[in-house]
Chain A
């Protein structure tokens, strides 16, 4: 066992423990802001694991796209909404047994399926490390723009749809936004603003007697 393998194992287990801890804190924290920050921690630790798996481009994309954009959006929304957390706290303890039961069921089933005798190093040997000239970005790009061309373009259309949907959902109606409408402003006519009123002249009001006496 070389020093590199030991280092690799240390990094793997440190990242794995960090991910599990961050996951527990995400579902357990009362304050959604803290939950979002722990989710960022989980993403960063996952990026370390992905780099260990030689998927450098995706690891960096995870940091840029998730930590940089999606989690920022999450934090903005969480801080913008003034959430009353009191009624939500009481349910947590009530659902705890059910949650643990569901989690234990899923864990037992999946870990039974992916046990080391099925997916251990005997069945799937640890691949050789890529050479220093290997470029993950080049490899990924060369299949992304050839074999997966149509899915790639569909993904861009999907992102466009998401942009339009998110903006049109969150944008308040124009009446609420108190927009100026210059087109209507320059077309305004005198009749819209000024009302000519024809009315009969009243009889002349004389000054009262008291006022006259004073003089």
Chain B
């Protein structure tokens, strides 16, 4: 029998891995975006596990909307990356310091 906590622990491991990835690869925007995708995947798995074990379809509807928003986010993020690369010839996060923030 697979318990709910098995799914939740898997989601936690995946979430922790993607946080570590964001900390480790903070120079490369593309890897950062991929880590965000991994994070969303962990959250979606949690949502679906709860929807299954609580017998409530609302969790799956949420995942549906999260997928929509994540697709929009990825499309715009990649467009911004292409624009940054076209203007500065690099996607190194450390090189994007012209705002002096």
Contacts and interface: CB of A to CB of B under 8 A. Distances in A.
Contacts of B54: 124
Interface residues of A, number: 87
Given A92-B24, A140-B64, A84 B90 contact: yes
A155 B68 CA distance: 7
Contacts of B91: 81, 83
A32 B61 contact: no
Contacts of A96: 24
A88 B2 contact: no
A55 B49 CA distance: 9
Contacts, number: 237
B71 A20 contact: no
A186 to B, nearest CB: 33
A100 interface: yes
Given A65-B71, A124-B54, A158-B68, A107 B48 contact: no
Closest 7 CB pairs of A and B: A27-B21, A162-B72, A103-B20, A114-B8, A110-B12, A119-B5, A169-B79
Interface of A: 5, 8-9, 12, 16, 19-20, 23-24, 26-27, 32, 35-36, 39, 42-43, 46, 49-50, 52-55, 57-58, 61-62, 65-66, 69-70, 73-74, 77-78, 80-81, 83-85, 87-88, 91-92, 95-96, 98-100, 102-104, 106-107, 110-111, 114-116, 118-121, 123-124, 126-127, 136, 139-140, 143-144, 148, 151, 155, 158-159, 161-163, 165-167, 169-170, 172
13 contacts: A26-B35, A49-B45, A55-B51, A57-B60, A58-B48, A95-B23, A96-B24, A103-B17, A114-B9, A119-B4, A158-B69, A169-B80, A170-B83
